[in-house]
Every structure is written in structure tokens, then in C-alpha cells.
């Protein structure tokens, strides 16, 4: 145990790294967000233009470039592939979990830090986020780490933590924009208000002008350069469309009622989110005696409310608060473990978890049965029975009054399910993706043209860009000049499909987990 205490942070990082990067190169990039981010990084690398991001040769205004830079480094290390695109997402996942562990150990104790770490590592959908080639893994780290840095400064008054906070905020703005400043800008004053320290004198002690200067030094050079290079087009698209418009209105069908965001948090922190109500209640009761619990409560509630009132709602939006929700859960779990206290709320939470653990494999089997492309591999849903078995084991230990063993059983069950998901389920499912099936007869040298729209995974998987046209006449000209060429489309319009029917349909395959069908045509 003494050696663990000495090297604990490094051990936590290594274990987290292994889980957050498990099998990331075993299955291809296939979902829209991953595909567009990974391809933008590839085009940046290929062109040598590290200022202006493009997707399939078109300006991409969705995100700032920091995650592109890390993906490019990944490509340099591992090649232009899924591993290269996803590797540093896993690194930042490990950094997030290590930072959480270190702050909990410093502010509470090592037992609570270990519990908190297990909560995060067993949160299947949280760990999955660090398997994706998207900016969110980086944002989660920068936002959560900046708030941890603020709290350590608040408790210690050591200025280096304050400077660290501002640097982390600046890097977050280079990852996903002003949200990295907006969230701390609401959370910190709210926390100070609870502590009755919200005054001009205290705020002045946070050196806001020096902090702002640090943030500007980190962010302004690239934002100014991309503004000049694109004549303001990137600036307008990013700030107006992808920030203000996303917050004010529903974008791309990702909306919903106020309670959708809390449901995302519960789903994202399963299995232990079945105790989320008790954890929030316990945190509220301890708010006046435990500053660390108080800031965790403020971060969590503020973030959830903020994204609940946002017009656009996505499961990944509230994830920067997950480490702080985990802190509240760990505080609650340590309390009931220390007291060996069995309550009616605990047994009902465990029974609800058992219900979820039974429904998931059944639901997975039914869902795969009704998807014709997955019918022959529906057996892979049986991996989810790990959850059922470990939930039953946890209930057994609970009845034996061994709460610690029950907790560990649940955590290990969900961790091993995650490993099965990344190492077995996804590789099997993605073999049926349009891109994977198309690779049987397409390669980087094939003559290909796109009609109107296509699956975004094609450019990164075939390491090339595609000409996109919206005229059947241009398709005829293309096939006349390239009789062995192919047409790719995922248009949904019946009139378009009727026009394309004069060509030979080579492939028709529904996208995985998305509502479109890729069709590939040839002349003969």
C-alpha cells in the first residue's frame, strides 16, 4: 500500500490510459462528428495549412484547432488511421481522471479519491467519449482541470494555481471556444456567493486583468490569423452559428425539453448514477461544512442548468461536470461505506440498477434483431449479460452487509463491459458500415464522384477528398470519361433516387446508428 501511495497518481494515469485507449484502433471511424474532425486534421496535415480548417476541401467553421493539432501529432506517430485520430483523446481522458483523483486526495482523502476514480472509470459512456476523435475529451479536461485549479488556489492562496487556471481556460478556448470561459465565469462567482466572498476586493485578488492577458496571448494569434485568412467567414460561422445560434435554438435536430440534459447526465454516469439523487442531497446537506463538496455541487448544478436551457442539447455537452458529480457520489459512498449503513434508498437504487442491467442485453438483442444488417451478429448483445451477473453479485454482497464488495462488483462489471464494447462489439458492428463494405472494391485511387451528399466517413477512411455535384448531367459526363468510376450518395429524396436508377446499384447499406443509406452506383 505504501508503494501505491507513493506512485498513486502515476498508477491512476496508467490504468485510466489503458481503459481510455482500449482498442481505439481496432474499429474504423464511422460516426459523423469523428469523421469530420479527423478528416479536417488530415487535410490540415496534408496541405501544411495549420490555420484554416477544411473538410472535403470546404471551410469548416465548427471548432477551433487545438484538437486538430493533437490528431496531427497522432497521425505522425501512428499513421493516418483511427488510432492516430483517437490516441490523444485517450490521453486527455487519463489526464482528466488523474487530475480528479489528485484533487480529491488533496482535498479529502485517498479512500474517497479511489472511490471517485472507480466511479469515473466504470461510467461507460464517459469513458467512451475518450475513445472518440472529437474535441470534447480535450474540453472536458481543460474545463474540469481549470476549476480544480481554482479550488486549490481558493484553499491554498498559491498564485501558481491561479495562473494554471487561466492557462487551462485559454487552451480550452482553443479547443471549443468561449464556453470554456463562460462556465467558470458563472461557476466561480456562484461559489463565492455561497461562501459570502463575492466582493470586488476578492475578485480583484483573482488578478482578472493578468488572467485575461494570459488567455489573450494563448488565443488571439490563431483567432486573428484565421479571421484574416478567411475574410471573417470562419469568425462569423463559428461565433454566430456554432455558439450563439446553438445556444439560442435547436440545431440539426438536437433539441428537447429541459429535463433531457439531467437524463443525459444520469445515462452518462451509469452505473453509479442510480445514486445521484442521494449524492446531490448529501452534498447540499454538507455545503456549509465541506468546501470541496460545495464547489462540486455548484459546478454540477450550474453546468446542468446551463445546458438544460440551451436550445441545442447533446449528451456530451454536460460532461465537463462529470468529475464533480463523481466527487459528490464518492463523498456519499464513503459515508455509507464507513458507517456500513444499509438504507431503503440503497436497496431501491441497487434494484433499479439490476432492472437496467436486465433490460440492456434484452433491448440490445431486440434492436439488433430488427436491424437486418445486424441480424446475423445479434449474439454480441450477450456481452451485456456481464452487467446482469455483476448486479446480482452486488445484491448478494449487499445482503451479506458487504457494501465494499457490492460497490467493487458493480464497478468491475461495467468496466469489463466497456472493454467488451470496444474490443468485441464495435469491431463486429463496424464491419457492416458503408465505408467498410465499400473498401472491398474502392481504394484511394478509384475514380469517384459524389452526388449531392455522402457519408462523412468516406474522406478520412480513404484519405482523400471528393468532388460533389448536384447534376445528373455532370454524373453522365463523369462516367463517360471514367467508365470504371463510381457514384456515391446518401440522398434521401425519392426524385434523386429515381434519377439515379438508370445506373447500376453496386452497394446499398444503412449507416450505423444514423438515419441515412449510402448507395454506390457504377456505369456497368
Q: For residue 118, give every residue at least 6 positions away whose Cβ sits within 8 Å of its Cβ, in sequence order, or none.
A: 407, 408, 411
Residue 197 main-chain phi, psi, to 5 deg: -115, 10
Mean pLDDT computed over 386-404: 94
Q: Is the pLDDT of residue 363 over 70?
A: yes
Which contacts of 401-409 are long-range, i.e. CB under 8 A and separated by 24 or more positions? Answer: 401/340, 401/342, 403/336, 403/337, 403/340, 403/342, 404/337, 406/350, 407/115, 407/118, 407/333, 407/337, 408/118
Which of 80, 75, 82, 92 minimizes the C-alpha distance to 136? 92
Split at pLDDT 50, 70, 90, the class of 26 is: very high
Cα-based distances in Å from 343 to 231, 352, 379, 403, 441: 63, 14, 38, 11, 61
In the predicted model, is pLDDT for residue 2 greater than 60?
A: no
Q: Is residue 183 scored above 60 in pLDDT?
A: yes
For the record, the C-alpha cell of 378 comes out as 445479434
Question: What integer is the mean pLDDT of 240-255?
Answer: 76
Per residue in 422-448, pLDDT (tens digit) is 999 999 999 999 999 999 999 888 999
Cα end-to-end distance, the chain, whole Å: 69
Per-residue confidence (pLDDT) for residue 338, from 0 to 100: 85
- Burial label for 341, CB within 10 Å (0-12, 13-18, 19+), is exposed
pLDDT tens, position by position, 184-222:
999 999 999 999 999 999 999 999 999 999 999 999 999
Confidence of residue 248 (pLDDT cuts 50, 70, 90): confident
State the residue for C-alpha cell 486573428: 224
Sheet of 504-510, strand order:
467-469, 448-451, 486-489, 517-522, 504-510
* Mean pLDDT within 214-239: 97
The band of 253, judged by pLDDT with boundaries at 50, 70 and 90, is low
pLDDT of residue 251: 67
Cis status of the peptide bond prior to 229, with omega within 30 of 0: no
Q: What is the 3-state secondary structure (H, E, C) of 415-454?
A: HHHHHHHHHHHHHHHHCCCHHHHHCCCCCCCCCEEEECCC
φ, ψ for residue 480, nearest 5 deg: -65, -40
pLDDT band at 258 (very low <50, low <70, confident <90, very high): confident
Instruction: Retrieve residue 353's grid coordinates.
Output: 440498477
pLDDT digit string (tens) for 71-95? 999 999 999 999 999 999 999 999 9
Percent of the chain with pLDDT over 70: 98
Q: Could you give the count of Cα atoms lying within 13 Å of 485 in the half-sphere of its Cβ?
A: 17
Best CA proximity match to 142, nearest among 110, 100, 170, 163: 170
Average pLDDT, whole number, for the chain? 94
pTM for this predicted structure: 0.96
Of 351, 340, 334, 346, which Cα lies nearest the Cα of 278? Answer: 346
Q: How far apart (Å, rounded) are the C-alpha atoms in residues 358 and 500?
A: 45
For residue 497, the tally of other CB atoms under 10 A from its CB is 14
User: How do residues 329-342 score in pLDDT, each as one tens digit?
Assistant: 999 999 998 887 77
Rounded to whole angstroms, the Cα distance separating 38 from 134 reads 8
Average pLDDT, stretch 270-274? 97
- Could you give the angle at which helices 403-420 and 385-399 cross, rounded to 10 degrees? 170
Interval 479-490 mean pLDDT: 96
Q: What is the pLDDT of residue 5?
A: 63
Amino acid at each position: 500500500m505504501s508503494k501505491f501511495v507513493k506512485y498513486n497518481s502515476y498508477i491512476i494515469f496508467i490504468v485510466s490510459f489503458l481503459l481510455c485507449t482500449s482498442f481505439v484502433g481496432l474499429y474504423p471511424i464511422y460516426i459523423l462528428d469523428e469523421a469530420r474532425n479527423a478528416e479536417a486534421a488530415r487535410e490540415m496535415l496534408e496541405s501544411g495549412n495549420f490555420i484554416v480548417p477544411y473538410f472535403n476541401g470546404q471551410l469548416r467553421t465548427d471548432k477551433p484547432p487545438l484538437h486538430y493539432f493533437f490528431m496531427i501529432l497522432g497521425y505522425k506517430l501512428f499513421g493516418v488511421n483511427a488510432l492516430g485520430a483517437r490516441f490523444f483523446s485517450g490521453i486527455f481522458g487519463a489526464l482528466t481522471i488523474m487530475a480528479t483523483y489528485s484533487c480529491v486526495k488533496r482535498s479529502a482523502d485517498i479512500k474517497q479519491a479511489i472511490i471517485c476514480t472507480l466511479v469515473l472509470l466504470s461510467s461507460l459512456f464517459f469513458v467512451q467519449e475518450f475513445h472518440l476523435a472529437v474535441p470534447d475529451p480535450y474540453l472536458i479536461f481543460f474545463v474540469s482541470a481549470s476549476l480544480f485549479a481554482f479550488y486549490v488556489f481558493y484553499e491554498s492562496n498559491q498564485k501558481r494555481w491561479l495562473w494554471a487556471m487561466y492557462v487551462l481556460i485559454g487552451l480550452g478556448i482553443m479547443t471549443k471556444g468561449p464556453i470554456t470561459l463562460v462556465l467558470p465565469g458563472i461557476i466561480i462567482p456562484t461559489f463565492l456567493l455561497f461562501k459570502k466572498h463575492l466582493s470586488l476586493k476578492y475578485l480583484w485578488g483573482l488578478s482578472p486583468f493578468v488572467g485575461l492577458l494570459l488567455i489573450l496571448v494563448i488565443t488571439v494569434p490563431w483567432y486573428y490569423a484565421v479571421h484574416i485568412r478567411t475574410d471573417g467567414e470562419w469568425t462569423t460561422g463559428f461565433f454566430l452559428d456554432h455558439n450563439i445560434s446553438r445556444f439560442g435554438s435547436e440545431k440539426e435536430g438536437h433539441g428537447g425539453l429541459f429535463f433531457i440534459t439531467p437524463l443525459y447526465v444520469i445515462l452518462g454516469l451509469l452505473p453509479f448514477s442510480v445514486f445521484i439523487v442521494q449524492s446531490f442531497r448529501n452534498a447540499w446537506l454538507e455545503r456549509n461544512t465541506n468546501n470541496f463538496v460545495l464547489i462540486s455541487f455548484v459546478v454540477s448544478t450550474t453546468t446542468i442548468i446551463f445546458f438544460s436551457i440551451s436550445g441545442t442539447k447533446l449528451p456530451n455537452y454536460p460532461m465537463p461536470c462529470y468529475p464533480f458529480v463523481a466527487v459528490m457520489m464518492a463523498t456519499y459512498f464513503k459515508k455509507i461505506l464507513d458507517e456500513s449503513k444499509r438504507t431503503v434508498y440503497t436497496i431501491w437504487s441497487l434494484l433499479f440498477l439490476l432492472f437496467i442491467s436486465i433490460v440492456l442485453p434484452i433491448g440490445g438483442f431486440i434492436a439488433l434483431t430488427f436491424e437486418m444488417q445486424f441480424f446475423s451478429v445479434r449474439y454480441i448483445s450477450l456481452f451485456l449479460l456481464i452487467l446482469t451477473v455483476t448486479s446480482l453479485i452486488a445484491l448478494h454482497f449487499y445482503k451479506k452487509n458487504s457494501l465494499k464488495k457490492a460497490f467493487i462488483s458493480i464497478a468491475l462489471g461495467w468496466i469489463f463491459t466497456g472493454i467488451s464494447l470496444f474490443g468485441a462489439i464495435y469491431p463486429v458492428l463496424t464491419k457492416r458500415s458503408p465505408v467498410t463494405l465499400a473498401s472491398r472494391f474502392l481504394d484511394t485511387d478509384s475514380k469517384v464522384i459524389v452526388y449531392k451528399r455522402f457519408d462523412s466517413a468516406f474522406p478520412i477512411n480513404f484519405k482523400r477528398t471528393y468532388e460533389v455535384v448536384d447534376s445528373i448531367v455532370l454524373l453522365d459526363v463523369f462516367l463517360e470519361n471514367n467508365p470504371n468510376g463510381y457514384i456515391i450518395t446518401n440522398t434521401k429524396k425519392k426524385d434523386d433516387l429515381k434519377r439515379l436508377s438508370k445506373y447500376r446499384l453496386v452497394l446499398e447499406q444503412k449507416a450505423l446508428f444514423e438515419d441515412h443509406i449510402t448507395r454506390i452506383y457504377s456505369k456497368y
